[in-house]
Amino acid sequence: MMILFTLCLCLWLEALVSTARGLDFRYHNTVEVEQYLKAINKNYSSLTHLHSIGKSVEGRDLWVLILGKYPTEHKIGIPEFKYVGNMHGNEVVGRVLLLHLIEFLTQGYLSDPLVTRILNSTRIHILPSMNPDGFEASTRDCMYSEGRFNKHGVDLNRNFPDAFEKDEEEKREAEVRAVMDWLSSEPFVLSANLHGGAVVASYPYDNSNGGGELQRGSSVSPDNDVFVHLAKTYSLNHTHMHKGNNCYESKDFKEGITNGFYWYPLSGGMQDYNYVWGQCLEITLELSCCKYPSESELPGLWAVNKPALLAYMQQVHLGVKGQVLDSAGAPVQNALVEVEGRRNLCPFRTDRNGEYYRLLLPGNYTVKVTAPGQEPVMKTLSVPYGPDSFSALMHNFVLQRSSSSSTSISSSSIPDVTHPTESCTSMVRNPAGSHSANLLGPGLMPSLALTLCRLLL
Ligand SMILES: *[C@@H]1O[C@H](CO)[C@@H](O)[C@H](O)[C@H]1NC(C)=O
Ligand SMILES: *[C@@H]1O[C@H](CO)[C@@H](O)[C@H](O)[C@H]1NC(C)=O
Ligand SMILES: *[C@@H]1O[C@H](CO)[C@@H](O)[C@H](O)[C@H]1NC(C)=O
Ligand SMILES: *[C@@H]1O[C@H](CO)[C@@H](O)[C@H](O)[C@H]1NC(C)=O
Ligand SMILES: [Zn+2]
């Protein structure tokens, strides 16, 4: 009798533990990841949305799981965030962490207060593997593996358009095209790209052509203060990244962060592309010295990264956001929203809803909004620390039709500034469903002229 009871108790406990255990800490292959994402999407159908943003060279889907209170579509005022893992197929820790993050977020919704607030205020896109072909080709090696590259032997983190060096468009790989299209289909605000082989948070720029951006060995962007804050948010909330010097014979990274170019220059990187053309601030997270660690290390890696992954997402609420409207209250697409003192290579523009998002540290900023045929508007805003309240400062701009036919050109036309290698208007947000013909409407010519003016100055 006693034995039977004990047996029952044990079986019950075993069942309890195994459901609580959930996703196991091991490397899931492409088919298993797909099954997992589909199961999550089925079990949490109102909190998640699953779609493929394209296919790899070998035809594997690039699955993205979207999480949030409104997972199926963008809502005005709710910022879009993304995490991208496994771009280098043999750097596998990010891929594992993102699956566990998905589990943690879905299970924590409406029970964990932080998770609930994040998911109620943010739309989160997770691409666990950008290079599934590379993953399948990888050997479990700490440093070297063919799986770094895609099926064509191309390093995807060297294959994006580069702001500082011209290249040929035909070179673009399928995985890179898919990410570029994805970036233009959603108004992403903040992102991180998860790698391995070091332990550090690296931020733009990764490249330079020796212009004004090059400062004491670093390639410094106009939003450097924000990038340093973002990188530190990750490294300080990570158990030991901020201590620097985590890997044998590696550079000593002060506070666990580095400017990308200062570490080593590279062209065609994804983070610079996100920032320059996508208006999406992206950093690169190197999460383990060994690129393909043994499975026994995975629970520990999740534990040290989990608070950092959450804190980083919350930073999507920095700064100021809102809509640009005309005097009739209609959204103005493609209006320039410029922050004084920040000369972005491509100025930030409003999207199809007339929305803008601008990540800024707390302080006072003068924001200038310009649109063809409208009087420019300038406003000084006092920006608080948004992440604490899970919302950036909200500020809408209302424009009045300009009386004179000449629209004044942006005042911030200071010469001696580097220009991107491709036109800024080539990456106007062109969401699925909206006709690209819209972009060729009357609004385009003045903005093109503006871009040309800048190029000539
Ligand atoms: C989905 O729900 C089923 C039934 O409750 C459960 O067995 C399964 O483990 C769940 N899967 C995931 C990934 O949540
Ligand atoms: C989040 O949204 C849900 C669904 O609308 C609501 O029930 C819940 O109270 C909200 N929680 C927080 C913390 O905002
Ligand atoms: C986490 O990041 C935030 C934002 O940068 C910072 O204020 C906070 O101190 C960090 N937490 C820890 C434990 O360092
Ligand atoms: C911003 O401006 C307000 C007045 O509008 C002032 O009280 C405050 O000190 C300023 N903050 C900073 C950081 O300059
Ligand atoms: Zn990498």
Secondary structure (DSSP) of 56-110: -TTS-EEEEEEESSS-SS--TT--EEEEEE-SSTT--HHHHHHHHHHHHHHHHTT
Q: Ligand 2 centre and the CA of 120: distance in Å? A: 6
| 450 inside domain | no
For residues 238 and 308, membership in a common domain is answered with: yes
CATH number of residue 180's parent domain:
3.40.630.10
Which of 320, 340, 367, 382 is the pocket-test mutation for ligand 4 (most atoms within 8 Å of CB)? 382
Q: What is the DSSP letter of 153?
A: S
Q: pLDDT tens string for the chain (457 positions)?
A: 455 445 444 444 444 444 456 899 999 999 999 999 999 999 999 999 999 999 999 999 999 999 999 999 999 999 999 999 999 999 999 999 999 999 999 999 999 999 999 999 999 999 999 999 999 999 999 998 889 999 999 999 999 999 999 888 779 999 999 999 999 999 999 999 999 999 999 999 999 999 999 999 999 999 999 999 999 999 999 999 999 877 876 678 999 999 999 999 999 999 999 999 999 999 999 999 999 999 999 999 999 999 999 999 999 999 999 999 999 999 999 999 999 999 999 999 999 999 999 999 999 999 999 999 999 999 999 999 999 999 999 999 999 999 865 544 544 444 445 678 888 865 555 444 333 333 333 333 333 333 332 333 3
pTM of the full predicted structure?
A: 0.89
Q: Ligand 5 centre and the CA of 195: distance in Å? A: 4
| 19 inside domain | no
Q: Which residues of 69-93 are buried (b: 16+ CB within 10 A; e: fewer)?
A: eebeebeeebbbbbbbbbbbbbbbb
Distant-in-sequence contacts of 326-330, Cβ < 8 A, 24+ apart: 326/374, 326/398, 326/399, 326/401, 327/398, 327/399, 327/400, 327/401, 329/398, 330/354
For residues 309 and 356, membership in a common domain is answered with: no
| 440 inside domain | no
For residues 268 and 357, membership in a common domain is answered with: no
For residues 275 and 361, membership in a common domain is answered with: no
For residues 209 and 330, membership in a common domain is answered with: no
Which of 237, 239, 361 is the pocket-test mutation for ligand 3 (most atoms within 8 Å of CB)? 237
| 13 inside domain | no
Binding pocket residue ranges, ligand 1, CB within 6 Å? 36, 39-40, 43
Q: Ligand 1 centre and the CA of 12: distance in Å? A: 18
For residues 197 and 245, membership in a common domain is answered with: yes
Q: Which atom of ligand 3 is nearest to the CA of 242?
A: 14
For residues 298 and 234, membership in a common domain is answered with: yes
- Give residues with Cβ within 8 angstroms of 39, minimum separation 6: none
Q: Whose CA is nearest to atom 13 of ligand 4?
A: 363
Tell me what pLDDT residue 47 has: 98
| 10 inside domain | no
Domain boundary among 276, 297, 313: 313
Ligand nearest, relative to CA of residue 292: 5
> How many whole angstroms from its chain centre is CA 69?
19
For residues 309 and 343, membership in a common domain is answered with: no
Q: Is the dihedral of CA 196, 200, 201, 202 positive or negative?
A: negative
Q: Ligand 2 centre and the CA of 92: distance in Å? A: 34
For residues 198 and 285, membership in a common domain is answered with: yes
| 135 inside domain | yes
Which of 43, 65, 67, 103 is the pocket-test mutation for ligand 1 (most atoms within 8 Å of CB)? 43
The residues that are catalytic are 286
In angstroms and rounded to an integer, the radius of gyration of the C-alpha atoms of the chain is: 23
Tell me what pLDDT residue 170 has: 79
Total count of domains within the chain: 2
Domain boundary among 254, 280, 313: 313
For residues 228 and 80, membership in a common domain is answered with: yes
- Give residues with Cβ within 8 angstroms of 224, minimum separation 6: none
Domain boundary among 279, 313, 347: 313
| 2 inside domain | no
Q: Whose CA is nearest to atom 7 of ligand 1?
A: 19
Tell me what pLDDT residue 422 has: 81
| 165 inside domain | yes
Cα dihedral 205, 412, 329, 331 in deg (nearest 10): -30
For residues 308 and 169, membership in a common domain is answered with: yes
Q: Ligand 4 centre and the CA of 203: distance in Å? A: 29
For residues 348 and 264, membership in a common domain is answered with: no
3-state secondary structure of 113: helix
Ligand nearest, relative to CA of residue 46: 2
Binding pocket residue ranges, ligand 2, CB within 6 Å? 69, 116-117, 120
- Domain membership of residue 368 as a residue range: 320-413
Q: Whose CA is nearest to atom 5 of ligand 1?
A: 43
Tell me what pLDDT residue 19 has: 46
Ligand nearest, relative to CA of residue 47: 2
